[in-house]
Structure 1
Amino acid sequence: MIKFSFTIFFLLVLSLRSNSMSIKGPVLTRYDPCAIGVLYFDKITDKVWQGVVNIGMYHNVQHVEIEVAFKRQTIIYGASVNSTISAQNQWHDFTIKPKGELPKIYNFYILINENNPENIPTVTKLKLNNVTLCDETIKLSQTIASLNVTKENESKTYSHICGRRSLDHAELTSLRTDSKTGDWPWHVAIMIEDPVTKNIRYQCGGNIISKTAILTAGHCLFSNGIAIPANKITVHAGVTYLKDLTQAGRQTFTPKKTILHPAYNHSAATSDLAIIIVNQITFTEYVQPICIWGPVYDKTALFGKEAVVVGFGTTEQDRLSDTLRTTNIMVQNDATCLAFAQHLYKPLLNEFTFCAGYGPNAGINPRNGDSGGGLVVPTMQTDFKISWFLRGVLSKCGVNRPNTPCDPNYYVVYTDVGPHYSWIYHNSGLFYRSNIVS
């Protein structure tokens, strides 16, 4: 975390006792049938949803025919380009044919029937150019057990698909709100025994990356400049409410050891990383690993794109909360952050770091207590499904004067995990395998 006064900046070394990030604005709800990236629906009002078709992922496509069936009666009342839309089966099944030059992103708009108690445009079948991408059979196959891809002859290793969630939590996602258990199953809460008071308190967030490893920020392993011994740390996985010690899916670990990045510097964000090694984590509906971005790490491709962050940091009311919250955030060009506060961001931004946020007056940002948490991006895979990748670990946040909490109007700085891909893999017991089930 960063504090500054004139040309001097100070590091908040996480004497943090606050829990959940600053969020302003309405809840954003997205429905992804079968957790695929080709088609998703964004909620506009209680009864209106926007369907978004990612036509741009297909190359040299001359025409598109979309066949979509809904669980309940639905009305499609418009599209972003001239289209032929026909309805069958008493307004349950639709065929959509865009006309003219195909856009990269095609939108259509639906009205939920008043008799739909779920208020969700639940899809039972989706075909694109006669290729089935989602139906009830595909949904039934998307189980937690299916993510275990260990082969019979791999007695000494364990193979698991990363970055995918239980379908119960993958199809319907809400941002700018409290998280439900299982929504972000790789996020953990890191608790410590304060070296001065001896009290147990919340310290940081972290990210499950293997059966035995959690990636967090390097500065999370210090309190008031003192290194925290591994036996004074507790990691809680599968938790969205810190005070509920009996929450379904909760797993608790005392680390075996911690590994601080060899290039760690408390005043920089370049290598602000650490790995916590624990005994074997059990992957369940509530606890899953995140994929690691890399080894390619050109950050310019991120500029202007939205990502998702979660954490137990300070709220917009500057009050304590023990609930995990989630929001989206925009990755910014370095020039944007430098123009905002050059003296603050110039020492921190380089090819190994990036900044993110919506800027002044947005009120949407990680704050105190969110350090170590991940900036994650959804990435389309060749099976048309979305896998989530960890791209950054929260390192620094800005304040407008010393000894005050992180200001949600400032941009935050992340350590890019891409440049550290090899170090992370080497120290986490990971062996690369394609993220796609063969």
Structure 2
Amino acid sequence: MAMLYLVLSLCVLQVHSMALKGPVLTRYQPCGLGVIYFDKITDMLWRAEVNLQLYENINEVVIEIIFENQMTLYGVSHNSTIFINNQSHNFTFIPKGNIPDQYHIYTSIKENTTTSVPTVERFSLNRIVLCNAFLKAADTVKSLDATQPGDREYQHVCGRRSLDHTEVNYVRTEYAQAGDWPWHVAILIKKPFTNLAYYQCGGNVISTTAILTAGHCMFLSGSLIDTSRIIIKAGLTDLRAVDKADQQTLTAERVILHPDYNADQATSDLAIVIVNKLLYTEYVQPICVWGPVYDKTALFGNQAVITGFGTTEQNMPSHTLRATNTIVQNDTTCNNYAPELYPKLLNEFTFCVGFGPNAGINPRNGDSGGGLFIPTKQPDHKVSWFLRGILSKCGLLAGQIFCDPEYYVVYTDVGPHYGWIYHNAGLIFSSNVVS
């Protein structure tokens, strides 16, 4: 077996890649709810999952869904009483027996099945309306502004999106739509004595003045990058786009490197880029930061989303933002796969991510600084996205210049650094629920 090297994922390249393979997965979450989502299984078939495990001490379940289109019902996962009304627009599902943790519904749209999603006009659980046209219309940037009269600090609900189409997520896909992942930014470096800049790393909006990224993204050839050369581009999905109305370009005012940063480790591979300042719009939003309580063992086996700009699987430039699902692995899985690599990197402050050597779905060079996003149900039944990790390290075989997608990648866990992040980002903790 060839000797493995550790690589700081920016290297010296100006071409960056995320290896995304496999079919497109389309997920539809009506009203951004945490309790129900629809996955596209085939061109015609959708599977809805109702996550009843989120609710404790319920003795009965009545699921009511009104669809925009006429639907065909193929089956459900549990023995149920089912009512279908209004020419197959209205469905009621009442599971019999013990309440299941997850309840699945298999359905399709009777017409135009390959291009449409099963749009939900109304969703009720136990006769409580959780999604309807009024709630969808209220999901705006203004609704996320939590600043009250007399507040001295601007407050904003984090981890939420406010575009109609962001009810639908596309993962393992070539293109992300504007507003899909509004907290992901591109960090560019200006070339000396020119007006040209090249893409360096990803980053994450955590406040109007702070971008969280990997510490090693702030270095070139072992030296800190001059702050005046750092450019932040927010609200874009294509690096080639110029002067788009939804795009914001800012220069860095200051870089705060984590005091325990070490180039050879992922433990504290963090930096905060201070800018002045971002405007929250439909296309630029902050991500919630996980913490202060953290236990990475609770992450093991959980799926998450990662995003990044870069090249195609053939290492050809694409310049587009792409997203994919991934999975957090148990440390043992990664340590056993490459015992000469991962035991040096994995500890209580880091974790290991990826589907494994045969999946071919992993970040590569240049996707450093991008986040690992965890969807979390909130008391208002909606999902908020939390930033749990920052991409730090990958495996590089001798003689290669690209991170090998067969190896797992290592993320810095932001949870243990919650206090440092909040202090330096100027954040004030508050509830993440829209009242």
Select 2:346's aligned residue among 333, 345, 349. 349
| 1:73 alignment partner, one of 70, 75, 80 | 70
Distance in 2, matches of 1:67 and 1:358, equals: 35
Matched, 1:102 2:99: yes
Partner of 1:212: 209
TM-score normalized by structure 1? Answer: 0.96
- With 9-18 and 39-48 compared, the bigger mean Cα shift is at 9-18
Equivalent residue, structure 1, for 2:155 = 159
**For residue 427 of structure 1, what is the aligned residue in structure 2?**
424
CA contact (8 A) 2:390 2:414 kept: yes
Distance in 2, matches of 1:110 and 1:328, equals 23
Does the 8 Å contact 1:192/1:232 carry over to 2? Answer: yes
Kept in 2: contact 1:221–1:227 (CA 8 A):
yes
Match of 2:411?
414
Change (3 A) 1:138 1:7: closer
Structure 1 stretch displaced more, 242-251 or 282-291: 242-251
Deviations 1:412-431 (A, max 9, x none): 00000000000000000100
* 8 Å Cα contact 1:207-1:374 kept in structure 2: yes
Shift, 1:12, TM fit: 5.0
Q: String of CA shifts for 1:187-210, please: whole Å, max 9, x gaps.
A: 000001346999521100000000
SS in structure 2 opposite 1:343? coil
Matched, 1:365 2:375: no
Q: Residue 314 of structure 1: CA displacement?
A: 3.8
| 2:250 corresponds to 1:290 | no
AA aligned to 1:168 is: D
Question: Is the CA contact (8 Å cut-off) linking 2:7 and 2:396 kept in structure 1?
Answer: no
CA contact (8 A) 1:126 1:133 kept: yes
Secondary structure of the 2:351 match is strand
CA distance in 1, matches of 2:80, 2:9: 55
Q: Is the 8 A contact 1:16 1:202 kept in 2?
A: no
**Cα shift readout 1:22-49 (whole Å, capped 9, x = no counterpart):** 0111000001001101111000112210
Q: Which residues in structure 2 correspond to 1:162-177 (within 5 Å)? A: 162-177=158-173
CA–CA distance in 2 between the matches of 1:371 and 1:202? Answer: 11
Tell me if the contact between 1:212 and 1:428 (Cα under 8 Å) persists in the aligned partners: yes
Q: CA deviation at 1:107?
A: 0.3
Alignment of 1:121 with 2:96, yes or no, is: no
Matched with 2:249 is: 252
Q: Which blocks of at least 5 consecutive residues in structure 1 are unaligned?
A: none
Where 1:359 maps in the other structure, the secondary structure is coil
One-letter amino acid of the counterpart of residue 200, structure 1: A
Aligned with 2:231 (options 226, 230, 234)? 234
Summarize deviations over 1:86-113 as a string: whole Å, max 9, x none: 1111111011111111210010111211
Shift of 1:11: 4.0
Does the 8 Å contact 2:8/2:394 carry over to 1? no
1:267 is aligned to 2:233: no
**SS of residue paired to 2:31:** helix
Q: Name the residue aligned to 1:14.
A: 11
Q: Distance in 2 between matches of 1:403 and 1:317?
A: 14
Structure 1 vs Structure 2: percent identity of aligned residues?
A: 57
CA distance in 1 between counterparts of 2:164 and 2:69 reads: 19
The TM-score with structure 2 as length reference comes to: 0.96
The counterpart of 1:278, out of the listed 272, 275, 279, is 275
2:80 matches 1:47: no
How many residues align structurally? 434
Query: What is aligned with 2:135?
Result: 138
Q: Distance in 1 between matches of 2:414 and 2:224?
A: 23
Cα distance in structure 2, aligned partners of 1:189 and 1:169 = 22
Contact 1:46-1:119 within 8 A present in 2 as well: no
d(CA) in 2 for partners of 1:24, 1:176: 7
Letter of the structure 1 residue corresponding to residue 329 of structure 2: Q
SS at match of 1:323: strand
- Which residue identity lines up with residue 209 of structure 1 in the other structure? I
Q: Which amino acid aligns with 1:252?
A: T
Which AA in structure 2 matches 1:48? L
Give the gaps of 5 or more residues in structure 2: none
* Distance in structure 2 (CA, Å) of the matches to 1:13 and 1:366: 12
Q: Check whether the contact 2:28–2:168 (CA below 8 A) recurs between aligned residues.
A: yes
The one-letter code sitting in structure 2 at the alignment partner of 1:174 is: Y
